[in-house]
Amino acid sequence: MPSTTLTRRRAGALIAALTTLSPALTSAQPAYPSKPIRFMVPYPAGGALDAVARAVSEPLQQRLGQPVVIENRAGAGARLGTEVAVRSPGDGYMLLIVTPGPISVAPALVPGLSYDPLKDLIPVLRLSEIINVMVVPDALPVKTVAEFIDWAKKQNRPISFGSSGVGSADHLAAEFFKQKTGLNLVHIPYKGGGPAMQDLATGRIDVSFATYAAAGGVLQTGKIRAIAVTTPARTSLLPELPTIGETVPGFGVSNWAGVFVPKGTPLAIRERLFKELVEISRLPEVRSMQNRVGIDTSLSGSMDEFMNQLREDTRQWDKVIKAANIKAE
C-alpha cells in the first residue's frame, strides 16, 4: 500500500501536469475563422442586394483571411435561403444578408412559418437602407404628397397603386400609406417592379412606392415623377426629396438590408463581424457601389439597436398586414 505522503505527491504531480497542459490544449483550438465562410443571399444573382453582398464580401475575405463564398438561394419571398441559414450551425461560418421580408414581415404574412426570425437568427448589423420612392405619372398634376392626397380625395373612383408583388416592401408601404391617410387605394400587383413602372409611365396606374432601383431608369425618361421617399428620415442619396412622414405624421418605412447569423453563434464572433462590417461599409468604394443600385449606407450603432428595430418593425407590419387582410400568395 502506498503511503499517504506518496499518494499526495503523485496527486500534486498530476495536477501540476494538467495545469501545464491546459494552455496548450486551449491554444490548440482553431482561431476564427479557420475555414471558408458561407454568405447566404436569398435573392437572385445580379440583383441589388446580391451586388451589395459581393461588394462587402471581397474586403471581408481579405480582413478575415478566409474565402467568403456567396450562395444565392432565391425563392418563397427570400424565405428559402433564410431557412437554410436558420438550419446551419451557429459557429460563425454562415452569414445571411436579407431585407425585412423573411424577418419582420413573414411572421404575419405566412401562416405556419417554419422558423422564428427573432429566436432562430441573431442580428449582427443593419448595413443599408434600400430607398423606396413615392412615384406618380408625369401627367398627374401633383408635385407633393399633400397635392397627391388632395387630388386623390377629389376623384370619383378608387386610386390604383402598383407593386412588385403581394407582401413586397412597396406593397406594404402603400397599404401603410392608405391606412394613415384613409384614401381609397386599390392594389394592382405585378411580377416585379419593372412592369409596374412601365404601367405607371403610361398612366394605367396612379401611384407606386417602388424601390429607387426599379424606378430609376423610368425616372430618367421623365415619364414618371418622384415626390417623396418612404424612409423615416431624408436620405443623402436623394437629398432633394422630402419624406412622406413630413406630410403624413407617423408614416415611415425602413426597407433595410442587414446581416444575421444562426442562433448559438458566439458573442466574440458576432462582435468581430460587426466591427469588420462597419469598417468595410465605410469604404468609399463600397458606399459608391450601394448608391449605384439605389441603396444608401445606414449602419446600426450596435447589435442591440438593430434588434430593437426588428422588434418594432415586426409589430408595425403585423398591424398593417392584419388591418389590410393581406395573404401570402
> What is the predicted pLDDT for the residue at 23?
47
Report the domain count for the chain.
Answer: 2
Residue 198 lies in a domain: yes
Angle between helix axes 169-181 and 303-324 (nearest 10 degrees) is 70
> What is the predicted pLDDT for the residue at 10?
54
**pLDDT (mean) for 287-298:** 92
Class of residue 289 by CB neighbours under 10 A (exposed 0-12, middle 13-18, buried 19+): middle
Residue 1 lies in a domain: no
Residue 30 lies in a domain: no
> What is the predicted pLDDT for the residue at 18?
45
Q: Cell numbers at residue 284, please?
A: 468609399
Q: Is the pLDDT of residue 52 over 70?
A: yes
Residue 215 domain boundaries? 133-246
> What is the predicted pLDDT for the residue at 230?
97
> CA angle 228-45-286, nearest 5°?
60
Q: Is the pLDDT of residue 281 over 80?
A: yes
114 and 184 fall within a common domain = no
Label residue 171 by pLDDT band (50, 70, 90).
Answer: very high
Q: What is the pLDDT of residues 248-257, one digit of tens each?
A: 999 999 999 9
153 and 230 fall within a common domain = yes
- Tell which of 198, 217, 246 closes a domain: 246
> What is the predicted pLDDT for the residue at 21?
47
Which distant-in-sequence residues (6+ apart) come within 8 Å of 201 by Cβ? 137, 138, 218, 221, 223, 224
**pLDDT (mean) for 144-171:** 96
219 and 153 fall within a common domain = yes
Q: Is the pLDDT of residue 1 over 50?
A: no
172 and 240 fall within a common domain = yes
Say which CATH number the domain at 71 has.
3.40.190.150
Dist. CA 134–CA 145, nearest whole Å: 8
**pLDDT (mean) for 215-241:** 96
227 and 283 fall within a common domain = no
124 and 147 fall within a common domain = no
For 245, phi and psi rounded to 5 degrees? -60, -20
216 and 145 fall within a common domain = yes
- Mean pLDDT over each residue of the chain, to the nearest integer: 91
Do 324 and 179 touch, CB atoms closer than 8 A? yes
Q: What is the pLDDT of residues 192-221, one digit of tens each?
A: 999 999 999 999 999 999 999 999 999 999
Do 145 and 244 touch, CB atoms closer than 8 A? yes
> CA angle 11-17-19, nearest 5°?
105
> What is the predicted pLDDT for the residue at 30?
74
- Tell which of 225, 246, 267 closes a domain: 246
49 sits in which H/E element: helix 48-64
DSSP letter assigned to residue 104: I
Q: What is the pLDDT of residues 80-132, one digit of tens each?
A: 999 999 999 999 999 999 999 999 999 999 999 999 999 999 999 999 999 99
Dist. CA 173–CA 179, nearest whole Å: 10
Q: What is the pLDDT of residues 177-188, one digit of tens each?
A: 999 999 999 999
% of the chain surpassing 70 pLDDT: 91
226 and 296 fall within a common domain = no
Q: Cell numbers at residue 285, please?
A: 468604394
Dist. CA 119–CA 107, nearest whole Å: 12
Class of residue 154 by CB neighbours under 10 A (exposed 0-12, middle 13-18, buried 19+): exposed
> What is the predicted pLDDT for the residue at 62?
96
Say which CATH number the domain at 211 has.
3.40.190.10
- Tell which of 246, 279, 301 closes a domain: 246
Collapse the DSSP code of 45 into the 3-class scheme (helix H, G, I; strand E, B; otherwise coil) and give the result: coil
181 and 82 fall within a common domain = no
222 and 144 fall within a common domain = yes
Collapse the DSSP code of 260 into the 3-class scheme (helix H, G, I; strand E, B; otherwise coil) and give the result: strand
